[in-house]
């Protein structure tokens, strides 16, 4: 599949729309406590904004946007954020993923749980975004020599 389009309408529209989709994805992740949303949906929205640029632009441009080598390592960091929050709670004397014992000073247990959920949502969003982009990259990479 050839990357990139020559139509100016597609180039302009994808360039305008992509940051707004990304902003909305951030909103969905960080407002997930009060409205429908959370890490999975926000991560899918962030991935869609990146894949929109990948469909519309040529390869030189979209590699500046999000490099394909960063896909798997950033996904691993997302999983490690989740594990790390669990292990911090374990080290502080609670159960695994028991956010009530996270070492943030001056908060009651319910607030600690609130921020623990926020931390793992960020980890989930990062992992989902990078893994979806990485699957897209791997599926479409290097098929110019053989016409599939």
Partner 1 sequence: MKYLTYISIGVFALLLIYAAYGLPYRGDPNALVNQEISLTGTPVASSYYIENAMKDANTPNMVTSVLGDYRAFDTLGEEVVIFAAGMICFLLLNRERKREARKQ
Partner 2 sequence: MNLFDFIAGHYDYWFIIILLAIGLYGMTVKKNLVKKLIGMTIFQAAVILFYISSAIKADATVPIIMENLSVDNPANYINPLPHALMLTAIVVGVATVGVAFTLLILIYKNYKTLDENELLELMK
In the complex, the residues that contact partner 1 under the rule CB under 8 A are: 32-38, 71-72, 75-76, 78-79, 82-83, 86, 96-97, 99, 110-111, 113-114, 116-117, 120-121, 123-124, 127-128, 130-131, 134-135, 138-139, 141-142
Distance CA 99, CA 122 (A): 15
Using rule CB under 8 A, residue 122 touches partner 2: no
Contact 37, 28 (CB under 8 A): yes
CA angle 18, 140, 37 (to 5 degrees): 40
Chain centre to alpha carbon of residue 14: 19
Binding partner selected for residue 76 from partner 1, partner 2, none, CB under the kind-specific 5 to 8 Å limit: partner 1
| Those residues with Cβ within 8 angstroms of residue 32's Cβ, 6 or more apart along the chain or in another chain | 38, 39, 41, 42, 121
Contact 127, 79 (CB under 8 A): yes
- Count of chain residues binding partner 2 (CB under 8 A): 16
- Buried-exposed string 119-143: b where 16+ CB fall within 10 A, e elsewhere: bbbbbbbbbbbbbbbbebbeeeeee
Host H or E run for residue 120: helix 109-140
| Interface pick for partner 2 out of 44, 76, 79, 101 (rule CB under 8 A) | 44
Using rule CB under 8 A, residue 128 touches partner 2: yes
Closer to partner 1 by Cβ: residue 24 or 30? 30
Q: Minimum CB separation from partner 2 for residue 128, in Å?
A: 6
Closer to partner 1 by Cβ: residue 14 or 133? 133
| Interface pick for partner 2 out of 16, 35, 60, 147 (rule CB under 8 A) | 35
Which residues of the shown chain bind partner 2 in the complex (CB under 8 A)?
34-36, 38, 40-41, 43-44, 128, 131-132, 135, 138-139, 146, 148
């Amino acid at each position: 599949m050839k990357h990139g389009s020559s139509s100016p309408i597609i180039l302009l529209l994808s360039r305008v729309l992509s940051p707004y989709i990304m902003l909305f994805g951030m909103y969905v992740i960080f407002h997930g406590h009060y409205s429908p949303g959370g890490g999975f949906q926000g991560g899918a929205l962030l991935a869609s904004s990146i894949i929109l640029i990948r469909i519309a632009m040529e390869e030189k441009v979209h590699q500046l946007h999000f490099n394909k080598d960063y896909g798997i390592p950033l996904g691993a960091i997302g999983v490690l954020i989740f594990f790390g929050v669990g292990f911090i709670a374990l080290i502080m004397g609670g159960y695994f993923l028991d956010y009530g014992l996270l070492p943030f000073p001056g908060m009651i247990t319910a607030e600690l749980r609130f921020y623990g959920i926020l931390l793992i949502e960020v980890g989930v969003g990062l992992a989902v975004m990078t893994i979806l982009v990485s699957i897209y990259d791997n599926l479409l990479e290097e098929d110019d020599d053989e016409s599939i």
